[in-house]
Chains A and B, each alone.
Chain A
Amino acid sequence: MTDLVEVLRAFTSATGCDAALWTRESAAPPMLDSVSRDGSVLSTWTPPFDGPSGRLDSPAGPVIVQAIPGPRRAWLVVGPCTRPDPPLEVFVKFLLPVVTHSLQASLEVEHAATELAERYEEINLLYTISEILGRTVSLEAAAGLILKEISETVGARRASILVHDPERDVLQPVTSLGVGGVTVPAIPIGDECSVSAQVFRERRAIIVEGAASPCPQEQPYRRGTMLSVPIMWTPPAGGMQPLGVVNLSDRATKQPFTAGDQKLITAIATQIGSAIQNARLVRESLTQQRLVHEMELAHDLQMRLLPRAEIVAPDAIVAARVVPAESVGGDFYNLFRLGAGRTGVMIADVSSHGYRAALIMALAMSATAIHAQTSNDPGEVLNALLASLTEELESTEMFISAFYGVIDREKGTLRYANTGHPHAYIITNEGTMRRLAALDPPLGMVDEPPAARTVRWTRTNDLLVLFTDGVSDARDHQDVRLGEQRIIDVILAHRKEPPTAILDQVIATVDAHTAGAVRRDDLTIVLVRS
């Protein structure tokens, strides 16, 4: 083991005294390491090493057994000598520093070699993990490979990676090794008994000594000594955020985990943290893309549900438009050719926006298409619509403000029902305006059937004007409303033009007012001449 044999040989040739070096590894008995002369008594005789250093009698004469100072347990044995003088103590005094120094130097070389091997393993591990993380975005797949690599490097036979689930506030196992087919339970963050939960809460690594965990839920993660390290992530805005925990236990060597192990696993946990966050961002981004795509599809579908203005020609000339606030909205209009010169016109606004409102809108459109054909009375039609949607409106706490009118150009009447729709008017060629006010609150707010009322309708002279509050409430950049009167004024000014031309003027007025400010509500406008 040491390279002292040449030194000892030279010593014997110069002094006529034999010399030997004995060393001892932990619990094993002392071993003869080097001896100056084969065949001397020192190559066969084992001195007692349990007593203090000093003179002893070997079978061939007196010797000195001297313990060598230093971390390794070793002894220098000098004697017997061929000459009586000088005394053995003089030779020991000469030889001891040389042997001590040489032994120290060889120990340092051994340590350096071991450390180099360990660092090599660690660097290799970091390379491997970077490579694993670099080639996959699936956290689950990467976590399993990483855990295997870490466990092999530190000699842990039981290991797990737990990731925080913010919704349930638990540490959820992502991957585990050596649990023997046990179903590994999630650990609540507040669990006082669990080391993993404590590591997550306190954001610091913990090395636990000892036998089995006192917590039953912790047992799959731990056997004997355990190293538990938080997985940390640093957001771009700064500050550290814990994302999960790495647990390693049941070391094959039975040795406790060291500060070096902790340092290594902490470095790897930081890489895992970045990977977790990247995987989450990728997942969120994909979901977002899918949502945007689905919203676009829903918008297309919704626009296709709206009837073309031509379906009521030649009985009526209609211009109509819906501009949703989001990709999908809750506004709609519907047109029905009812025969004998009669035209049904509906405008409605489902409270709220987005998917749920769009779903109610689609249901309402198909329900009115059926009910408008089965009854000529607008009150009955809206009542039937309410009956079709009561359950949906109650469960979603939504309601519908709706106007439904039937123009009978032959009889010269407009019969209408109005449940909470504020903007319905007849504007005449002469420039008069009559409001067709709500007769009942919006559908879904009360259970009573909606009422209906009949007013005079002058053929080709009257213009039915319907719009939703998204038009009158359109805001500019200073949050100022456009207001109902401005819209009425524009329609009055262009009242003799065809409905499509009037509609363009209204839209232009809204656009000029909002000047690109964010739209908060759907806009719907319907203009009918018959």
Chain B
Amino acid sequence: MSFSIRKQADVVVVDVEGQLIVGNRQELKQKVLDELEKGERKFLIDFSQTGYIDSSGLGVLVSLSKKIREQGGELRLANLNDDLKTLFELTKLDTLFQIADTRERALESF
């Protein structure tokens, strides 16, 4: 379970491997906030390798989205599996995020 960060054009792309849960959410948050601090403004979190997000993981995504918006930036999500898509729909979180089916579409949308 880890996060890898790389830059594609001017977008910071974060891959979440495994789960995003109470035990590792702070690590993700810190990594993204560090990039924001360095001046990055476009962020994409790719969930293609993510099986599960618990409620505190969702909380971190919302908190990051707010913080990035406050700095004039944007956060997009991509590659949610069917379970995660349902979770976002059932909790109405899909209304809070821009969610793309693939990484390429997400990158194009910036």
Residues of A within 8 A of B (CB): 349, 351-353, 397-399, 401, 419-423, 437-442, 445-446, 469, 473, 520-521
B56 in the interface (beta carbon within 8 A): yes
Known contacts A422-B87, A469-B55; A399 and B92 CB within 8 A of each other: no
Q: Which of B8-16, B38-46, B57-65, B98-106 contacts A (4 or more CB under 8 A)?
A: B57-65
Is the CB–CB distance between A445 and B62 below 8 Å? yes
Q: Are B54 and A401 in contact (CB under 8 A)?
A: no
> A441 near B96 (CB under 8 angstroms)?
yes
Known: A445-B62, A446-B96. A422 touches B90 (CB 8 A): yes
- Chain B residues 73 to 103 lying within 8 A of chain A, measured CB to CB, are 87, 89-93, 95-96
Q: At the interface, is chain B mostly helix, strand, loop or mixed?
A: helix
Complex CA–CA separation, A171 to B89 (angstroms): 55
In the bound assembly, the distance between CA atoms of A145 and B56 in angstroms comes to 51
Q: Which residues of A contact B95 (CB under 8 A)?
A: 441
- Name the CB-closest residue of A to B23: A520
Q: Is the CB of A421 within 8 A of B59?
A: no
State which of B60, B62, B92 has its C-beta within 8 Å of the C-beta of A439: B92
Question: B89: which A residues are within 8 A, CB to CB?
Answer: 437
Segment 1-49 of B: residues with Cβ below 8 Å from A: 22
Instruction: Tell me which residues across on chain B come within 8 A of A441, comparing CB atoms.
Output: 62, 91-93, 95-96
Q: CB-CB < 8 A to B59: which residues of A?
A: 351-352, 397-399
Nearest first, the 3 A-B pairs at minimum CB distance are A422-B90, A420-B91, A351-B55
Q: Given A352-B22, A422-B87, A445-B62, 13 more contacts at CB 8 Å?
A: A351-B55, A352-B55, A397-B60, A401-B91, A419-B92, A422-B91, A423-B90, A437-B89, A438-B92, A441-B62, A445-B96, A473-B54, A520-B54
Contact for A351 among B56, B92, B96, CB less than 8 A: B56
Question: Which of B22, B60, B91 interacts with A442 by CB under 8 Å?
Answer: B91
Would you give 19 A-B contacts (Cβ < 8 Å), ordered by A?
Answer: A351-B59, A352-B22, A352-B59, A397-B59, A399-B62, A420-B91, A420-B92, A421-B91, A422-B90, A423-B90, A437-B89, A438-B90, A441-B91, A441-B96, A442-B92, A445-B62, A445-B96, A446-B96, A521-B54
In the assembly, what is the distance between CA of A398 and CA of B58, in Å? 10
B91 and A438 contacting across the interface, CB-CB below 8 Å: yes
Residues of B within 8 A of A439 (CB): 92
Total interface residues on B, CB under 8 Å, equals 17
Contact of B55 among A349, A419, A437, A438 (CB under 8 A): A349
Interface pair B92/A440, CB less than 8 Å apart: yes
Please, which residues of chain B bring their CB within 8 A of the CB of A469? 55
Taking a contact as CB atoms closer than 8 A, the residue among A351, A440, A446 that contacts B58 in the complex is A351
Bound CA–CA A401/B87 (angstroms): 12
A437 touches B22 (CB 8 A): no
Bound complex: CA of A398 vs CA of B59, how far in Å?
A: 7
A residues in contact with B60, CB < 8 Å: 397
| Residues in B whose Cβ lies below 8 Å from that of A419 | 92
Partner of B93, one of A349, A420, A473: A420
Smallest beta-carbon distance B99→chain A, Å: 13
A401→B63 contact, CB < 8 A: no
A contact residues around B91 at 8 Å (CB) = 401, 420-422, 438, 441-442
Question: In the complex, A420 Cα to B61 Cα: how many Å?
Answer: 15
Tell me, in angstroms, the Cα distance from A446 to B55 when the chains sit together.
Answer: 16
- The 8 Å CB contact of A437, one of B62, B87, B90, B93, is B90
CA distance in complex: A349, B62 (Å): 17
- Separation of A297 and B22 alpha carbons in the complex (Å): 24
Question: What is the bound-complex CA distance between A420 and B59, given in angstroms?
Answer: 12
Give CA–CA (A446, B59) in the complex, Å.
12
Q: What's the Cα separation between A440 and B93 when bound, in Å?
A: 8
Min CB–CB distance B54 → chain A (angstroms):
7
Known: A420-B92, A441-B91. A401 touches B62 (CB 8 A): no
Which one of A352, A420, A440, A441 has the greatest number of beta carbons of chain B within 10 Å? A441
How far apart are the CA atoms of A349 and B90 in the complex, in Å?
Answer: 14
Q: Interface centre among A438, A439, A473, A520, by most B CB within 10 Å?
A: A438
